[in-house]
Every structure is written in C-alpha cells, then in structure tokens.
C-alpha cells in the first residue's frame, strides 16, 4: 500500500439491508481494492449485544456507539496516522480485540451513523445516504432473511418494526447532510403493486457543493419527463419513465433524477447514457459498461443500479479533484 498524500473520506449511510454492500462492491470497480479501505461503523458499538439486550438500547441509538473514538480515529486516518480500531463481531455479538488500520488513499466509512456526529461530518469529502421506503425495505429484507437466513415472515416484520422508532430518530435525519440521497420507492407505473419488484428510484444531488456537478438529463435546470420506450429502448409492461428537475430538500436546492420501471435489455442503457450530461465518465459508454460488468448485482436492471454507478462516478470525480496537483498545491499555500 503506497502512503497517501491526501486521504479522501467517503461516507455511505443507511439502515442495514439497504444496499450499502452492493454499492461498495461497485466502488471497488472504480477505485480498485488496493487504494480503498472500508470501515464499518458497527465497529464503534460501545455496547455489545448482551448489554444492549439488558438495557433495551438498540444499536441505532447513539448511546450504544462511541462517537468520540469514531471521530478521533477517522481524524487520525485522515491525517495519515494508523489506528487500532475495535471490531464488533456480528457472529458472537461481542466486541473483539482491535485491529491495526493503516491510512489509505480512499477511506470509506459505512454504516448506520457516518453523518450523525458533526465532527465526523466535517471530515467527510463526499457522502451518500440510502433512503429506502418502508414498503421496499420490508420486501428486500423478507426476501433475503427468509431465503438466505431461514427467518420467518413474522419475525422479519417484527424486527423491522422494533427498529423503526430509533431509525426515525437517529438514522433518517442524516439525509439532510448527504451530498447524494438515493430514494427507493414503490413504482407509480402499477396501481397498488404488491410485489415491489418494479421500483421508482430518485437521485437527489446537492446543488452548490464545490466541485460537484450534478448529472442532468437533456437540459440543465429544466424540468423534463421522458418516456424512452420505443425503437431504441425495449420496455415490456409496465414500461419506463424518467424525470429530471429541481427541488428543495431540507431547505436546500437539489437536482433530481428519477427512473421509474426497469430495463429489459441492459445493453440498451447506453441509449439513456447518451442523453445524460455531467456523468463524470472518462469515455462514452463507461456508465453502461460499469453496470454491465455486474448485471448479477441486485438492482442492476433498474434505477438503483444505475444511480449507484452514477454516485460512484461522482465519488471518483471528487477523489480526482481533491488529489490533483493543483488541489495539493492549494492545500500547501
């Protein structure tokens, strides 16, 4: 591992089971494993599973997390110093002996609380929040925990419901601080869709952040509704709709890109890509190429995959900007 001159800090926030790991795998395509170190913030749980059970404090509650240590260690890494990070063991529920982490070029902090503590927030160079609506979250969790972990439907639902109050209090408010929010909602294309297979996905991009140029469709600053189905894009029922426009989110301007529906043929995403601008790709077709590279990842055939790729491209652009020769010179002055 080469010693970084400038550590770029990326925050990936969201509840458990919201697609953070899938997104991180996409980030590796852009940065490579060598340059990137991921820290799961579960490692800063200060109460182990037994203590949380005894006190009735959930892992989402700030009282179950050591924010002082989180801040000190992330700051140290950003300043180029190695740390001894605790480990939360999800198998045993215990806090294991610490492990040594060396600073790396890109440091990703992912988990429940990357944007909760103001001091940590200040250190983060670019962030994303995964905002999955309850209906979709339930569908994903039920599908995973029942199929892969042998859980019963009622138990999965009860677990989601028991987390809800603390989720609303401590996790969701972090949306306000993210540079990109990925909202995943039920489709508008099917009335009362119970399956939650077809999704409406929105990418809210903060306006006015230095060095971050939001992606737009056709005409920057306009409001556009686009139904691309036809000769260039195959769309079976219920079709596909794109939207681009601006909005106010927590009192600040955001650019919104939306995809409702799913792609029948992933190769045809190139057609959408040619109508998007400021994607931060290095060559024509790179966005489509990145998506095709992992067509097996969940959400590759809808807006979740597409916007995860676009968010990754924006993170790469932020990294390149912050580590450019000019940026390094300016930091030294």
Ligand X SMILES: O=C(CO)[C@H](O)[C@H](O)COP(=O)(O)O
Closer CB to ligand ATP, 304 or 311, in the complex: 304
Place of tokens 């009282």: 63
Specify the pairing of strand 126-132 against strand 8-14: parallel
By CB under 6 A, is residue 90 in contact with ligand X? yes
Backbone phi, psi, residue 279, to 5°:
-85, -10
Closest CA to 255 of 226, 223, 279: 223
Element (H, E) at 180: strand 180-186
Residue 16 is a binding residue for ligand X (CB under 6 A): yes
**Which residues in 97-156 contact ligand ATP (CB under 6 A)?**
140, 143-144
| 1/36 Cα distance (integer angstroms) | 10
Instruction: Count the helix, strand and coil residues of the chain and give each as a percent rounded to the nearest 5.
Output: 40, 25, 35
Could you say which of ligand ATP, ligand X, none residue 310 binds, taking C-beta under 5 to 8 angstroms by partner kind?
Answer: none
- Integer Cα distance of 182 and 204 in angstroms: 6
Residues numbered 240-299 forming contacts with ligand ATP, rule: CB under 6 A? 298-299
Alpha-carbon span 124 to 23, nearest angstrom: 18
Contacts (CB under 6 A) with ligand X, residues 52-81 = 59
Q: Smallest distance, Å, CB 11 to ligand X? A: 15
Nearer Cβ to ligand X (41/77): 41
Residue 137 interacting partner from ligand ATP, ligand X, none (CB closer than 5 to 8 Å by kind): none
Of 93 and 238, nearer to ligand X (C-beta) is: 93
Do you know the residue count of the chain?
Answer: 333
User: Minimal CB distance to ligand ATP: which residue?
Assistant: 299
Contact of residue 299 among ligand ATP, ligand X, none (CB under 5-8 Å per partner type)? ligand ATP
What is the pattern of x (binds ligand X, CB under 6 A) and - over residues 104-133?
--------x---------------------
CB of 192 to ligand ATP, least distance (A): 20
Residues 293-332 that bind ligand ATP (CB under 6 A): 298-299, 304
Interface residues for ligand ATP in 8-27 (CB under 6 A)? 14, 16-22
93 binds, among ligand X, ligand ATP, none (CB under 5 to 8 A by kind): ligand X
- Count of positions on this chain that bind ligand ATP (CB under 6 A): 14
CA distance 195 to 200: 13
Give the span between the Cα atoms of 199 and 185, in whole angstroms. Answer: 6
Rounded-to-integer distance, Cα 14 and Cα 120, Å = 16
Give the DSSP letter string of 29-44.
Answer: HHH-TTTEEEEEGGGG
* Residues near ligand X, by CB under 6 A: 16, 42, 49, 59, 90, 93, 112
* Residues near ligand ATP, by CB under 6 A: 14, 16-22, 140, 143-144, 298-299, 304
């Amino acid at each position: 591992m080469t010693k970084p001159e400038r550590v770029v800090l990326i925050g990936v926030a969201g509840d458990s089971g919201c697609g953070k790991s899938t997104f991180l795998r996409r980030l590796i395509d852009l940065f490579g494993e060598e340059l990137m170190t991921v820290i799961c913030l579960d490692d800063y749980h200060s109460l182990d599973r037994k203590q949380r059970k005894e006190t009735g404090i959930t892992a989402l509650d700030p009282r179950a997390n050591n924010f002082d240590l989180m801040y000190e260690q992330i700051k140290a890494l950003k300043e180029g110093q190695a740390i001894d990070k605790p480990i939360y063991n999800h198998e045993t529920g215990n806090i294991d002996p610490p492990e040594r982490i060396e600073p790396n070029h890109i440091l990703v902090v992912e988990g429940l609380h990357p944007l909760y503590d103001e001091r940590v927030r200040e250190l983060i160079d670019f962030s994303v929040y995964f905002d999955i609506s309850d209906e979709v979250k339930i569908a994903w969790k039920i599908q995973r925990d029942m199929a892969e972990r042998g859980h019963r439907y009622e138990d999965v639902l009860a677990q989601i419901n028991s987390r809800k109050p603390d989720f609303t209090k401590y996790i969701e408010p972090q949306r306000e601080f993210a540079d990109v929010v990925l909202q995943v909602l039920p489709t508008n294309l099917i009335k009362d869709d119970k399956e939650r297979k077809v999704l409406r996905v929105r990418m809210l991009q903060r306006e006015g952040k230095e060095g971050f140029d939001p992606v737009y469709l056709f005409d920057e600053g306009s409001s556009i509704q686009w139904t691309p189905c036809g000769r260039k894009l195959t769309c079976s029922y219920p079709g596909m709709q794109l939207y681009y426009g601006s909005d106010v989110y927590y009192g600040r301007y955001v650019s919104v890109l939306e995809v409702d529906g799913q792609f029948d043929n992933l190769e045809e995403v190139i057609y959408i890509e040619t109508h998007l601008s400021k994607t931060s790709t290095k060559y024509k077709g790179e966005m489509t190429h990145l998506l095709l590279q992992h067509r097996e990842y969940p959400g590759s055939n809808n807006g979740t995959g597409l916007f995860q790729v676009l968010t990754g491209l924006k993170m790469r652009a932020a990294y390149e900007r912050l580590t450019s020769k000019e940026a390094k010179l300016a930091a030294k002055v």
